[in-house]
């Protein structure tokens, strides 16, 4: 065995071997991961600056978007660890391997939990508009956000308790960073991180869609003349299609990014994730954090105005936080 194939040449008998991949493939993967990570960090950083800086954006819904952006921002930073091990070697030790996987679970769980809270917020706002301002307050939203992050920490401790107790013992050689989830923990994770959240999101968004369409029909039937009923019907159908398309994108992207990871967790009694060999599955799982600001925020007009003010450095001017971005 050539020393260039070893992660730690000085540990000839116990060092891991680098996977044999063409140089072009390594470069392509590295560029792809770097681009996704950088895009995730930049987009979510723009969201964080926008909501934190401009006073007009200090609303209950935007606080949830801020929490989502913070979690997704850190997901983008964690993706750089995938680039570190692109050659199949982990040089940061067992402790950093444990920290990496724990932070990954905490931040991703917080991101998913915040998505669920956002769907609840929109459900209350559309279905119970008269009670929204009294029930959904800044203080309650802040409490929900804090609870979401605390629950993410507790949830990570429960799912990875065996891994935390035996950190590093699952590595077959030096230079490897793997963690093992037993089958029961995998099922638990599947239910509480995938099936449960996606069910809540789909049910609430479908309800929001139905209520919004029915309200639009009532308003148009009351305000529009009888001779315009035909054109109103066409307009309503277009709005239905637009709402259905938006809902489809949200759910489809979530499924595409999450399904591969949770399918792998059910492939055997113990699901072993290697930071190099399963980079595609893990990064696709993370890629949802890059798409979240695009799906939830990017098409808001206030976000486009905020980006313009941030890029042109107008936010550095006095009283820029009072600018009209709505």
Q: How many other CB atoms are found less than 10 A from the CB of residue 56?
A: 15
Q: Domain 19-322, what architecture? A: Up-down Bundle (1.20)
- The DSSP H or E segment spanning 158 is helix 138-159
Question: Exposed, middle or buried by CB within 10 Å (0-12, 13-18, 19+), for 140?
Answer: exposed
What are the extents of the domains in the chain? 19-322
Q: Which helix (H) or strand (E) holds 86?
A: none
Crossing angle (nearest 10°) for helices 196-223 and 93-127: 30
The pTM of this model reads 0.79
| Strand runs labelled E in 155-269 | 178-182
What does the pLDDT profile of the chain (326 residues) look like in tens digits?
A: 444 577 766 666 667 777 676 777 777 777 888 888 898 899 899 989 988 888 888 888 889 889 988 988 998 888 877 776 666 677 777 788 888 888 888 988 898 888 888 888 888 887 887 887 888 888 899 999 999 999 999 988 888 877 777 666 666 677 777 777 777 777 788 888 888 888 888 888 888 778 777 766 766 666 555 444 444 444 434 544 454 455 567 767 877 887 777 676 555 544 455 544 456 676 777 788 888 778 766 677 778 888 888 888 888 888 888 888 87
From the CB of residue 31, how many other CB atoms can be counted at a distance below 10 Å? 11
């Amino acid at each position: 065995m050539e020393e260039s194939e070893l992660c730690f040449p000085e540990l000839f008998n116990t060092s891991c071997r680098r996977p044999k991949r063409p140089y072009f493939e390594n470069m392509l993967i590295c560029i792809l991961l770097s681009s996704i990570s950088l895009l995730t960090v930049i987009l979510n950083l723009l969201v964080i600056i926008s909501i934190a800086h401009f006073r007009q954006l200090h609303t209950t819904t935007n606080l949830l978007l801020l929490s989502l952006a913070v979690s997704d921002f850190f997901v983008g930073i964690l993706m750089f660890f995938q680039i570190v091990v692109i050659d199949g070697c982990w040089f940061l030790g067992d402790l950093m391997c444990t920290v990496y996987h724990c932070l990954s679970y905490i931040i991703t769980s917080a991101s998913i939990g915040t998505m669920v809270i956002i769907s609840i917020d929109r459900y209350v706002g559309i279905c119970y508009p008269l009670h929204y301002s009294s029930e959904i307050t800044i203080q309650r939203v802040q409490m929900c956000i804090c609870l979401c992050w605390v629950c993410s920490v507790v949830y990570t401790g429960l799912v990875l308790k065996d891994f935390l107790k035996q950190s590093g013992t699952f590595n077959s050689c030096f230079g490897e960073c793997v963690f093992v989830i037993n089958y029961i923990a995998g099922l638990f994770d599947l239910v509480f991180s995938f099936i449960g959240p996606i069910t809540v999101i789909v049910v609430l968004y479908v309800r929001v869609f139905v209520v919004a369409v029915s309200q639009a029909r009532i308003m148009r039937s009351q305000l529009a003349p009888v001779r315009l009923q035909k054109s109103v019907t066409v307009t309503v159908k277009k709005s239905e299609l637009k709402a259905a398309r938006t809902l489809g994108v949200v759910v489809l992207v979530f499924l595409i990014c999450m399904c591969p990871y949770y399918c792998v967790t059910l492939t055997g009694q113990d699901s072993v994730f290697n930071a190099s060999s399963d980079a595609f599955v893990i990064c696709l799982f993370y890629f949802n954090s890059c798409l979240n600001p695009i799906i939830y925020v990017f098409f808001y007009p206030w976000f486009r105005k905020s980006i313009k003010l941030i890029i042109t450095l107008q936010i550095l001017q006095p009283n820029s936080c009072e600018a009209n971005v709505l």
